[in-house]
Amino acid sequence: MMLMLFAMASEAATVRLDVQAGRGRREIGVGELFYITYEVSNSEKAPEKPASVPGGKVMYFDRTGQSSSFTSVNGKTTQSYSYTYTLTVRAQTEGSYTFGPVTVDGVKSNTVSYTIGAAAAASTPGGSNQQQQSSSDPTRHNSADGPKFIGKGDGNLYLKANVSKTTAYEQEALVYTVKLYTTYDAIKFIGATAAPKFEGFVVEESKDVSNQLDYETEGRKPYATAIIALYIIFHQMEGQLTVHGNTYTVSVDEREYYHDPFWGSMSVAKPLQLNVTPNDLTINVKSLPAPQPANFSGGVGKFSISSTLPAQTFLSNQAASVVYTVSGTGNLKYVKLPDLNALYPPQLEVYSPTPDVQTTVGRTNVSGTARFDYSFMPLESGSFKIPDVQLVYFNPESGQYETSTARGYEITVGRGKGSEKSQTRGNMSFNPNLLPVNGGLSMTHTPYVKRFGYWLFYIIPILLLLGAVGYYRAYLKANADLLAVRSRKADKMAKKRLRKAGVCIKKGEINRFYDEMLAALWGYMGDKLKMPPSELTRQNISEKLYDRGIPENVVAQFITLLDECEFAKYAPAATKGNMQPVYNQGVVVINSLEDSFKQQKTSGNEKS
């Protein structure tokens, strides 16, 4: 063995480049991944990660394999070994390009040529349905740079809205649910960016949603499901009413597949943000049956009423109270009791209370109690009858008006302090001792209405009103264009988001820091250029900034900072340590852009 080791000699170092399209494709389409492999033989030196690749964006670079061999010919033993490095690139611009040569340990490699064409739509034979929809459909997401958007959903993740009944009565409680269906590996975050549009409804949000995933088969495909929103809705008018689904932001892990020469087919989890909207629903609302009872309480559901009177003996001119409690399920907040002044004897004066309503929003309805604490004042002594009080409500289950009754009471009123009915009529008296007049009386007097000070009380409010109207009209005119308002306030919004990123630095929250930085950069540029998120790409931003006359170095700083933040967000944790320089650069870039916009605006005004 010693003689063999001394006899071995290493071959000369070589470097060879090769390019492959993603997942077995022959052509590279815009938005797809392709791979440039470095084959470094007989050298321990590792090649440097390139800063850019013509026509594409660098995603990953790492060593993916190694091999070694021994050869013995006529007693001469040689050893060779090689390392494979894979550069993963996302194609961005159509055209023909050349990459290389690269130099490793003083040895130059060959050059490779490749062509990026239009976005391909073919799928890999034999690939799973999930893989095809996750990676091969380049039109599924609007942009490779900005937030991803897939409308109402695709085969791997979508939302389905459902309502318990599509035909119902006015004020009847219905259950509106939003259910998530997904085949992705992991759901990291689900958040609503806006509330559903319940036009013509009163809404109660329920917290009784899914705490864990269930599994269902939809269209012969298994999905993990969860109810992420549940509302109890009450219709306020008859006719065809539509519930418009709101947008939810869902963060998932998407499997990205690539081919490695040594290990074969491999995959990596890639964070993906999706904005998904459930389907809209139309509900046919019927009016309540006519004629409605004269004492209809407005309640729709199932209710009962009870009464409580602590004592049956009272004194005149002393307040007492009777409590009516309505309990059940339905639109409890809109239940009203009859006018008790019309029901009670005239010797009892009744004061209407403010009801105390306690409700619980469940999975199928709103239930609880409404407490009506009526105070009454006996005005005369004697025996009186507090009548039964009826609660008339509509039961949608039976389709009829039903009645619940609270029992009445026989009460005895004794004579209290003071004369009876003194609380309403009162006693009038006259004091003959008039106050003396201080000072002499004048024969001449000028009415105050003829003085200038009197009219100032009218003139000053009118002037203030005219000024307020003028200011309000100017304010409406200045804020009529919402996009222009957002453009003017883009700098303030960006600095507000940057302050959140600064808080993340202090707390050491790396992922949230880069989220806030990207939100500040994308949000500032979208507001300043009046562009919707779907059109925010690096190319569009660069063109718009050049058209505005922004210096090229400022544009380049912004694009570079954007790339650095996105790379750090999706790169391994070891590359995310230095947040403070990124934050400082963000402040400098935003200030430079804002100064450039102001200079262009000033120069434009001078020319005009």
**In degrees rounded to 5, what are phi and psi of residue 303?**
-135, 165
426-429 CB contacts, 8 Å cutoff, 24+ apart = none
Q: What are phi and psi of 267, to 5 degrees?
A: -145, 160
Which of 404, 450, 224, 383 minimizes the C-alpha distance to 299?
404
Is residue 91 within 8 Å of residue 34, measured between CB atoms? yes
What local confidence, expressed as pLDDT, does residue 355 receive?
A: 87
Domains of the chain: 2-117 (2.60.40), 137-285 (2.60.40), 304-414 (2.60.40.740), 483-600 (1.20.120)
Q: Which two tokens stand for residue 368?
A: 């609880």
What pLDDT is recorded for position 113? 93
Stretch 475-492: mean pLDDT, rounded?
65
Q: At what angle do helices 538-547 and 552-570 cross, to 10 degrees?
A: 160
Predicted confidence (pLDDT) at residue 537 exceeds the cutoff of 80: yes
User: Which one, of 160, 155, 159, 111, lies nearest residue 137 by Cα?
Assistant: 155
The more confidently predicted of residues 443 and 335 is: 335
- Predicted pLDDT of residue 136: 35
Stated as kind and residue range, the H or E segment containing 520 is helix 510-529
pLDDT category of residue 110 using cuts at 50, 70 and 90: very high
- pLDDT above 60 (res 144): no
543-579 per-position pLDDT tens digit: 888 887 888 888 888 888 888 888 877 765 545 567 8
Q: What is the pLDDT of residue 470?
A: 86
d(CA 387, CA 346): 12
- Average pLDDT over the chain, rounded to an integer: 79
pLDDT in tens, 261-282: 566 566 777 777 788 888 888 8
What is the 3-state composition of the chain as percent helix, strand, coil, each rounded to the nearest 5?
Answer: 25, 40, 35
Quote the pTM value: 0.45
Report d(CA 196, CA 218) in Å as an integer: 25
Are 54 and 97 in contact, with CB atoms under 8 Å apart?
yes
Give the phi and the psi of residue 41 in degrees, each rounded to 5.
-110, 140
Give the pLDDT mean for 314-325: 89
Listed residue (388, 215, 370) closest to 298, CA to CA: 370
∠ CA 414-355-416 to the nearest 5 degrees?
Answer: 10
Closest CA to 21 of 30, 3, 33: 33
Across the range 193-199, mean pLDDT stands at: 73
- 250, with CB counted inside 10 A (0-12, 13-18, 19+), is buried
Average of pLDDT values for 27-32? 82
